[in-house]
Structure 1
Amino acid sequence: MSTVENVGIPALAWELAADIYRPDDFDPSGVYPAIVATHPIGSCKEQTAGTVYGAALADQGYVVVAFDASFQGASGGEPRLVEDPTMRVKDISHVIDYLVTLPYVDADRIGALGVCGGGGYSINATMTDRRIKAVGSVTGVNFGRLMQESFSDYDPVAVLDAIAVQRTAEARGETRRVDDLLPASPQAASDDGVTEIDVVEATDYYKTDRGRQPGGATSALFSRQGTAVGWDAFGRAEVLLTRPIMVVVGDRPGAFGAYRDGLEIYRRAPAADKRLVVLEGFSHYDLYDLPEPTSKALAELVPFFGEHL
């Protein structure tokens, strides 16, 4: 089993709270490949990216860093509960800055892995931070596309207008608006007639003991969402996404669009080694923690990273 150490990683004017997963037989005098594990939107390092995929990859001989995003979880940054894609991508590079200072990490063998929104962020970071030698996306989502479509009711300009009004109000001292992205509980979802698979299963994961963690807020500060509305995880992919990439999705699509986004980035990536893994019979949230689909995902990811790291 892997061992875990909590550390603080310098970001801009604050630190990122991070867990370093190391192999059980870790030798500090050795040199290891490393992977940066990026959590989903509304999640934290103690959930799927760290405890499921990070721990499993550490068991395979990698040093893995799972971290809380800036403004979220136990990491620093104010105001709280900001989901800023540009900062999420910068956080990945800050973690790499830290990794390359560790004597037991091979700076030429660093990879990235992300789950849900973390998959989109990891792909985007790989386009511009060439220290990332290979990237894996598990049920990855392009958060910008989601904000421009269903999260804005397909009217992103109206949402930007509302964000502008709210941000001005908050700057003048009015109460901040924080939106919970999910129903309060599975029962609340049922009572409200919610049937969409991603929303139902997200509620089951985040709002029950199955996945609930103190740092997994599933909420966001509305006045700071403008950047996300104007962002695109896959912009310039045809030119810049040349690193090896593996995209893992389930074939039971939901409203958050991981299946669609996975097929899109697989098509657009110019990487010489690009692999699409479609796991039949599984949904977005099955790939967060259920033993069978996560084991199948790891059965593909482990040899993929092994070839390139």
Structure 2
Amino acid sequence: METVSIKNFYCDIAADIYFPPNFDARNKYPAIISAHPIGSCKEQTSGNVYGAGLSKEGFVVIAFDAGYQGASSGEPRYIENPALRVEDFRAVVDYLVTLPYVDQERIGTLGICGGGGYAINTSMTERRIKAVASVTAVNIGRLMREVFSGNDPLAMLEAIAKQRTAEALGAERRADDVLPPSPEDAIRLGLTEIDVFEATEYYRTPRGRQPDGVNRWLFSHHAAAVGWDAFHLAEILLTQPLMVVVGDKVGAFGAYRDGYEIVGRAASKNKEIVELAGWSHYDLYDKPEPVALALAKLVPFFMNNL
């Protein structure tokens, strides 16, 4: 593995490149961009699990941290802006096409959770991406309008506006912790819905905890996400081969619903939804059995389409 820094127009993107066995820089390889979940980092699932797993099968995989997050630069921290997240993908593609060992015509992308929604959206207008896949993809715009706003997006937007004005006038920035500090706290607070509890179990314990995967959001900069739709114009613009992997244990974050929606809407002629029985959203992050099942579908998908 090699860690690199990629220049975007507003920040430097930190990324890890995973190489295939017996890598030879004189050869040309297909490449896959792996995008982390919302509030996560490249050391959680996108890199250490799916990046490592796909590279073992012959792909060069690059897992990157979103701008303003993780080890990437950008101030203020913890911004979750869909337009900027999409632009991060473009900068990573720009970097890949300069690498002599990457085949420019065989670049794909994989996104996990919110990274899956971003990967799908980016692929609609980034035609250098030839195949797109997701694992338990989430449309962050829908998630913001429903779950995180309590189904009252207008009230949330009013609160965001007041907070941004306050910060412009010198108030301290409001950075929200998205999850409780521990599973025990989640139980104490009554936050036992499967996605919320399992997210806490993943991010707030040694199982998945990483210094850069903090699940914090800058509240005053959330308005763009509230008004965004990861799947907008998919019926017209999403034509690349598409694979969507979901677990059938349905949680509040809505990956199961979003997965079926995008496969139904996409203009892609080659598209498939893979439903893994008995597994949840967060099982697919790192548990060996469901990850192996997902990779058993993803590897041939990318081999056939890159």
Shorter-chain TM range is over 0.9
Superposition deviation, residue 13 in structure 1:
3.1
2:193 aligned residue (182, 192, 196): 196
| 3-state SS in 1 of match to 2:141 | helix
1:145 aligned residue (135, 138, 142): 142
1:265 aligned residue (248, 262, 266): 262
Residue number in structure 2 paired with 1:168: 165
> Could you tell me which amino acid in structure 1 is paired with residue 181 of structure 2?
A
Measure, in 2, the Cα distance between the counterparts of 1:14 and 1:281: 41
| 3-state SS in 2 of match to 1:299 | helix
Superposition deviation, residue 12 in structure 1:
1.3
**Alignment map for 1:252-291 (pairs within 5 Å):** 252-291=249-288
Does 2:87 match 1:90? yes
> Could you tell me which amino acid in structure 1 is paired with residue 26 of structure 2?
S
Measure, in 1, the Cα distance between the counterparts of 2:119 and 2:295: 17
Measure, in 1, the Cα distance between the counterparts of 2:11 and 2:151: 35
Per-residue CA deviation, residues 263-298 of structure 1 (Å, 9 max, x unaligned), is: 000111111100110000000000000000000000
Residue number in structure 2 paired with 1:79: 76
Superposition deviation, residue 195 in structure 1:
1.5
Residue number in structure 2 paired with 1:18: 15
| 3-state SS in 1 of match to 2:166 | helix
Measure, in 1, the Cα distance between the counterparts of 2:73 and 2:140: 22
| 3-state SS in 1 of match to 2:66 | coil
> Could you tell me which amino acid in structure 2 is paired with residue 132 of structure 1?
I
Measure, in 1, the Cα distance between the counterparts of 2:37 and 2:132: 15
> Could you tell me which amino acid in structure 2 is paired with residue 102 of structure 1?
L
| 3-state SS in 1 of match to 2:262 | helix
- Regions of 4+ moved over 2 Å: none
Measure, in 2, the Cα distance between the counterparts of 1:194 and 1:144: 22
1:29 aligned residue (21, 26, 31): 26
> Could you tell me which amino acid in structure 2 is paired with residue 266 of structure 1?
V
1:177 aligned residue (174, 179, 183): 174
> Could you tell me which amino acid in structure 1 is paired with residue 94 of structure 2?
D
| 3-state SS in 2 of match to 1:83 | coil
Measure, in 1, the Cα distance between the counterparts of 2:77 and 2:199: 22
Superposition deviation, residue 143 in structure 1:
0.2
Superposition deviation, residue 148 in structure 1:
0.9
TM-score (norm 1): 0.98
Residue number in structure 1 paired with 2:303: 306
Superposition deviation, residue 24 in structure 1:
2.4
Measure, in 1, the Cα distance between the counterparts of 2:109 and 2:26: 24
Residue number in structure 1 paired with 2:49: 52
Superposition deviation, residue 14 in structure 1:
2.1
Residue number in structure 2 paired with 1:134: 131
Please report the RMSD computed on the Cα atoms of aligned residues, expressed in angstroms: 0.6
| 3-state SS in 2 of match to 1:132 | coil
Structure 1 portions without partners, runs of 5+: none
Superposition deviation, residue 194 in structure 1:
1.7
| 3-state SS in 1 of match to 2:130 | strand
Superposition deviation, residue 172 in structure 1:
1.1
Superposition deviation, residue 119 in structure 1:
0.3
| 3-state SS in 1 of match to 2:191 | coil
> Could you tell me which amino acid in structure 2 is paired with residue 209 of structure 1?
P
Measure, in 1, the Cα distance between the counterparts of 2:153 and 2:191: 23
> Identity across aligned pairs (percent)?
63
TM-score (norm 2): 0.99
Per-residue CA deviation, residues 236-281 of structure 1 (Å, 9 max, x unaligned), is: 0000010000000000010000000000001111111001100000
Superposition deviation, residue 191 in structure 1:
1.1
Measure, in 2, the Cα distance between the counterparts of 1:70 and 1:12: 10
Does 2:225 match 1:236? no
Count, aligned residues: 306
Measure, in 2, the Cα distance between the counterparts of 1:68 and 1:272: 31
Residue number in structure 2 paired with 1:223: 220
Residue number in structure 1 paired with 2:6: 9
Does 2:282 match 1:296? no
